[in-house]
Amino acid sequence: MSSKTKIVVLRMKEIIYTAVFLGFAVLLILLLFIMFRPGSRQADTPAASSRALYVPGVYSSALQLGSQEVNIEVTVDSDRITSIQMTSLSDSVAAMYPLAAPSLQRLAEQILASQSLENLSYADETRYTSQFLVSAIERAVGKARVRD
């Protein structure tokens, strides 16, 4: 019986170094692929980020509170909502609907901070008032949106 068995001695250090360098090479190739693949820079272009969301101006939506009409005015720039306020709120309407003004103030703070009408929070006692106000704000913002 003739056996030609060869014994190969590998040092553990060499195996670890080789594995680490192979890992770095794979990571580098993945990074290069992600950075330079076609179509990856479309969202980063200035034209996409500076695209106008709104037509600048002041837009209003009417609310019927009792026998009186109150306007919700939304002021927008080309890319953000700048203010939300209630106009033509008489003292009698304010007395009859005491939750309207504070609810609008809290909603306006949230909307201006997040620039979104999604995920707004309001207290249980002002739920219906807030929903009524949000629908008026949505109508006004809808008028301001840029049409494609």
pTM: 0.63
Greatest CA separation for the chain: 112
pLDDT given at position 45: 47
What would the pLDDT profile of 88-130 be if each residue is shown by its tens digit? 778 887 888 888 888 889 999 999 999 888 888 888 888 888 8
Q: What is the mean pLDDT of the chain?
A: 84
pLDDT given at position 24: 96
Q: Where are the alpha helices (DSSP H) in the chain?
A: 12-36, 46-49, 91-96, 100-114, 127-144
Half-sphere exposure of 121 (CA within 13 A, CB side): 2
Specify the DSSP class assigned to residue 125: G
